[in-house]
Amino acid sequence: MPSAPSPLHLAVALDAAGWHPAAWREPGARPRELFTARYWTDLVTEAERGLLDFVTIEDSLSLQSSSFAGPDGRTDQVRGRLDALLVAARVAPLTRHIGLIPTAVVTHTEPFHVSKAVATLDFVSTGRAGVQVKVSGRADEAPHFGRRPAIRFRPDELDSPAGLAALKELFDEAGDYVEVLRRLWDSWEDDAEIRDAATGRFIDRDKLHYIDFTGERFSVKGPSITPRPPQGQPVVTALAHREEPFRLVAASADVGFVTPQDTADTRAILARIRAAQATAGRADETVHVFGDLVVLLDDEPGAAADRRARLEERAGAPYTSDARVFAGTPAELADLLLEGQEAGLTGFRLRPAVLPHDLERITRGLVPELQRRGAFRTAYEAATLRGLLGLPRPANRYAAL
Amino acid sequence: MSKPVKQIHLAAHFPGVNNSTVWSDPAAGSQIDFSSFVHLARTAERAKFDFLFLAEGLRLREQNGEIYDLDVVGRPDTFTVLTALAAVTDKLGLAGTINSTFNEPYEVARQFATLDHLSAGRAAWNVVTSWDEFTGQNFRRGGFLAQEDRYLRARQFLAATWELFDSWRGDEITADQDTGVFLTDPAPGRFDHHVDQFDISGHFNVPRSPQGRPVIFQAGDSEEGREFAASGADAIFTRHGTLEDGQAFYADVKRRLARYGRAPDELKILPGVTFVLGDTDADAREKADVIRHQQVSGPTAIKLLEQLWNRDLSAYDPDGPLPDVDPLVGENTVARGRASVRMHRDPTATAARWRALAEEKHLSIRELIIAVTGRQSFIGTPATVADALDHFVQSDASDGFILTPHLTPGGLDDFADTVVPLLQEKGVFRTEYEGDTLREHLGLGAARAVRDDRAGAADRKAAS
C-alpha cells in the first residue's frame, strides 16, 4: 500500500484587488475599500476559514507601475498601497490560526526596525508571524530615500556582467539583512526576564547578547530592544526566479516561492535550490519550496477561461506574469498541485487573480476538493506558523548548552 | 466675567522601559504580551480617554559598561502594537514616539499614514530626536548626526513627512468600475524635498489618510524643544513638578504660538503625571510612599545618582549621605542611552542643589533620589484627585494629563472606575466620544495644507 502523501501546504498571496490589473472592475470587487481595515480583515478571515497555512501581503516602496523607472501614467489600474506589516498587525488580533507574512523591502529599510516589527507581529499574533524579504532594484525607489545611488542596471540587462554584479550585491546585502534579523531575534534568550525581587534585577544581563554584526554595507550592535518572540524566530520567506535569489532562499530562508512553468522546470529549480542549500551547510534543515501560481477558479468548466478573456479585454492586453497562470476548476487545480507535489514542491502559494472571488473559490472549492483526496488538513493542527509548517522552534544560537 | 470651564484631556501611557513600573508587585503582568496592551487600551477607551501613548528607546541602556538590569527592560515595536490595538478599540487615539534620527521620512510617513487608515483616523506621532553614536550603532547610518543638528533634522524630517502626507489631495481615487478610471491623477503623490538633511523626490504611495496627517506631539522642555513645538506640534508632552512651574511653562509656550500665526488652543499641553488612589487621603499618601520606595530601591538610588555624578558610586551606602566628591564633568561615560542623562545639563550645579536639599531635609541618598526624581503625582481619594486634576487644568497649568500607572496592565482600572465619573459629574470630562478621530477628541481643526507649513516656516526663520 502506498504511503499517504505528506500534507500539502497552501498559502495565498494578497495584493490589492487581486493580481490581474483589471481585477478591481470585476463584480464583487471592493476597489473603494482597498485602504480600509475591514477589507483586509475579510480577506484574511476567509483564508483562515479555508485552513490555509498563511497569507502573504505584498508591498513596495514606490507606486505600482509597469515601468521600472517611475509611474507609468496609467489611470486604469490600482495605485497606492498600505504598509504590509501594519496590515498584518491590524488583522492579527482578529484571527487565531493563520500565519501572517508581510513583505519587507530590505534594500532601503533598517534591519533593526524590521526585526523588532516582525518580532512584535509574532507577539501580537501569538506565534504566527513571518516576513517575505524583497530586494529593490527599482530606479524610482532609491530617490525616495536619498541614501544610496540609483540602481545601475535595467531589468533587460540582468544577465549582463554589470547586471549580475548588481544583482549579487543586492542579494548579498539581503543575506546579511536576514542574518541580522535572526541574530536580533536570538539576542535575548527565552528566559532572560527573571524578575528577581531578591536582587532587584528585572533581567539577567548574561542572557542578553550583542550581535556585533559587521557586513559590507552595514553593521548592527544589538541586542534587540524586543525580547525573543514566541516562535523564537519568525518564518523567513523570499520569492526567487534565478540563481542569486535561489542562493538567498537556500542559505537564509525557511520558505522559498518559485515560479516553475511545468514539471521539468519544477525539478530543475528544486535541484538548484537543494544544491545551494547543501553548499550553504543547511542540507539537514527544512527549507520549504512553494510553487507560485496565479489562479482564476470557477466551478463550472470553461467559466474561468471566459472570465480570463473578459479581464483581458478590459485590460486591453493578454495577462502575463512571472508565475504560471491557471484558469480552470478546483478539481483541475487539485490535479496540478498534486503533480507539483509529486515533483518535489512542499506547497503552493496561490495568487488570486481577482479578490475576493478567486480566494473564495480556493477556500470553498479547492480546499474541500483536496480534503476529499486526503491531501489537505481538515483542522488547524498547531498554534504557531512554524508548527503548521512542521518547522522546529530554533535553538538560540547564543544560549549556553 | 468668569472664564469658561475647560474640558480636560486624558491619555494613558503604557509604561515601557523605566523604574516607575513596580514589576515586583504580584499584580504586575507582562510588559510585552499583547494582552497587556489590550487591557490598558480597553480600560482607557472605556473611560473615554483621548489616546494611549507609547514611548520609545532604540538601544538597551547601559551603565558602567553593562546592560542596565534593575528596571523593566524590553519593549515591542511601536507601529506594530498601535496598529494591532486599532483592531481591539474603536475610538481611542493611538500615539507613538518615533525617532526622527534613525528613520527616514518616506518610511515613517507610510507607517503613520497606514496607521491612520487602519484606525480610521486615530494616529498620533510624538516626534523625538536623538543623535548619539551609542544608539546609532544599531542602524545602517550609524552615529552620523552632529548633536547640534538634531533639531534641524527633526524640523526638516517633520517638514518632509508633511509634504508626503499632503502629496495626495484626497480626491485622486475614484475607482469607477464602469468607466475603468481608478484614479484621476496618472502620477499622484509627487514630492520634491531638498534641504540639508534630506535630498528626496518621487511619488508617495499611500493615499491621503482620514486625518490627513497624524496628530503631532513633541516632548521636551528645552528652549529648542519649546520653539519646535510652538512652530509645528498639536500637543506637547511635558513633565512639570508643580502648579507654578506648569503655569509658567503653559504661559510661555502658548505665547510662542502667535509667532507662527497660531491660536493658543491649537497646541495642547499635557504633562506626564502619576497618581495614587486610597480610601482616605492619608491612606493614599501611605501607599504612595510605599510605591516610591519600590520604584527607588537602594541599588536603583545608587545607579540613578551615578548618572549625574558620572562616576562609579557602588561603594556608597544608599541609606547614607551624598558623596563628597564632585561629579565628573565632560563626556558621560557611566550611563548611556537614557534620556535623563541628557537632562543633566550642568551636573555640578545640579549636584550642589541636591546636596543643599539633602542637608536641609536630612535626606539619605535614597530619600534624595525619591525626592528629586518624582514627577507630578496626584495622591488622595478619588474626590481629592479629581479636584486636583481639575484645579490644575482650570488654573492653566495644563490642558490635561498623560497618566502613567505604576502597575502594568491593571494600573488604570481604579482611576477609570472612580476618578473619571467624578470628572464627568463636574462637567469637565466627556461622557461619550463626540467624534471619531483623535483630532476631534483633542478639539483640533483639520490638518492645514502643507504649502504654508509651520515647520518649513520655522526652518526659514532659523536659517535667516
Domain ranges of chain B: 9-278+381-463, 285-373
Q: Which of B72, B107, B201 sits opposite A109 (nearest CB)?
A: B107
3-state secondary structure of B458: helix
Is there a domain that residue A47 lies in?
yes
Q: What is the CATH number of the domain that holds A47?
A: 3.20.20.30
Is there a domain that residue A55 lies in?
yes
Instruction: Kindly report, residue by residue over B417-434, the tens digit of the pLDDT.
Output: 999 999 999 999 999 999
Neighbouring CB atoms inside 10 A of B177's CB total: 16
Confidence of residue B461 (pLDDT cuts 50, 70, 90): very low
| pLDDT attached to residue B235 | 95
Residues 146 through 165 of chain A touching chain B, CB cutoff 8 Å: 146-147
A227/B32 CB distance under 8 A: yes
Mutate to test the interface with A, among B20, B111, B140, B294 (most CBs of A within 10 A): B140
Beta strands in B342-413 (DSSP E): 377-380, 400-403
B114/A83 CB distance under 8 A: yes
A145/B110 CB distance under 8 A: no
Q: What is the mean pLDDT of residues B281-305?
A: 95
Residue B463 has pLDDT above 70, yes or no: no
Q: Are strands B173-176 and B235-238 parallel, antiparallel or unpaired?
A: unpaired
Q: Are strands B173-176 and B181-183 parallel, antiparallel or unpaired?
A: antiparallel
A to B CB pairs, distance under 8 Å:
227
| pLDDT attached to residue B460 | 37
| pLDDT attached to residue B448 | 56
B165 CB-contact burial (10 Å; exposed 0-12 / middle 13-18 / buried 19+): buried
Mutate to test the interface with A, among B14, B23, B63, B80 (most CBs of A within 10 A): B80
A61/B114 CB distance under 8 A: no
Domain range for A22: 9-180+236-388
Is there a domain that residue A339 lies in?
yes
A140/B203 CB distance under 8 A: yes
Q: How far apart are CA B285 and CA A63, in angstroms?
A: 58
Residue A3 has pLDDT above 50, yes or no: no
Instruction: Kindly report, residue by residue over B95-154, the tens digit of the pLDDT.
Output: 999 988 899 999 999 999 999 999 999 999 998 877 788 899 999 877 777 877 877 888
Neighbouring CB atoms inside 10 A of A299's CB total: 12
In the chain, the amino acid numbered B424 is: Q
Residues 87 through 146 of chain A touching chain B, CB cutoff 8 Å: 87, 89-94, 108-113, 116-117, 119-121, 123-124, 126, 140-141, 143-146
In chain A, residues with a C-beta closer than 8 Å to the C-beta of B211 are none
Residues 69 through 98 of chain B touching chain A, CB cutoff 8 Å: 69-77, 79-81, 83-84, 86-88
Into how many domains does chain A fold?
1
Q: Nearest CA to A350 among A365, A340, A362? A: A362
User: Using only C-alpha atoms, what is the Rg of chain B?
Assistant: 23
Q: Nearest CA to A178 among A238, A229, A267, A126? A: A238
Q: What is the mean pLDDT of residues B286-294?
A: 96
Is there a domain that residue A397 lies in?
no
Q: How far apart are CA B187 and CA A64, in angstroms?
A: 10
In chain A, residues with a C-beta closer than 8 Å to the C-beta of B24 are 195, 197
3-state secondary structure of B112: helix
Residue A1 has pLDDT above 60, yes or no: no
- ipTM more than 0.90? yes
Is there a domain that residue A209 lies in?
no
Q: How far apart are CA A290 and CA A101, in angstroms?
A: 14
Q: Hey, is the C-beta of A315 within 8 angstroms of any chain B C-beta? A: no
Is there a domain that residue A220 lies in?
no
Q: What is the mean pLDDT of residues A231-241?
A: 98
Is there a domain that residue A197 lies in?
no
The tally of CA atoms less than 13 A away on the side-chain side of residue A158 is: 12
Ligand-binding site membership of A254 (annotated): no
Q: Nearest CA to B335 among B36, B116, B67, B156? A: B67
Set of cell numbers at residue B320: 547614607
Residues 444 through 463 of chain B touching chain A, CB cutoff 8 Å: none
| pLDDT attached to residue B375 | 84
- Residue B93 pairs in a beta bridge with B51
Q: Hey, is the C-beta of B297 within 8 angstroms of any chain A C-beta? A: yes
Is there a domain that residue A199 lies in?
no
| pLDDT attached to residue A2 | 44
Q: What is the mean pLDDT of residues B253-276?
A: 94
Set of cell numbers at residue B166: 499632503
Q: For B9-278+381-463, CATH number?
A: 3.20.20.30
A80/B86 CB distance under 8 A: no
Q: Which of B138, B175, B201 sits opposite A32 (nearest CB)?
A: B175
Instruction: Kindly report, residue by residue over B230-253, the tens digit of the pLDDT.
Output: 988 999 988 876 899 999 999 999
In the chain, the amino acid numbered A135 is: V
Set of cell numbers at residue A116: 523588532
Confidence of residue A361 (pLDDT cuts 50, 70, 90): very high
Instruction: Kindly report, residue by residue over A254-272, the tens digit of the pLDDT.
Output: 999 999 999 999 999 999 9
| pLDDT attached to residue A152 | 61
Set of cell numbers at residue A292: 507560485
Q: What is the mean pLDDT of residues A46-70?
A: 95
- Residue B380 pairs in a beta bridge with B277
Check if the beta carbon of residue A9 is closer than 8 Å to that of residue A53. yes
Set of cell numbers at residue A6: 505528506
pTM, two decimals, is 0.96
| Residues counted in chain A | 401
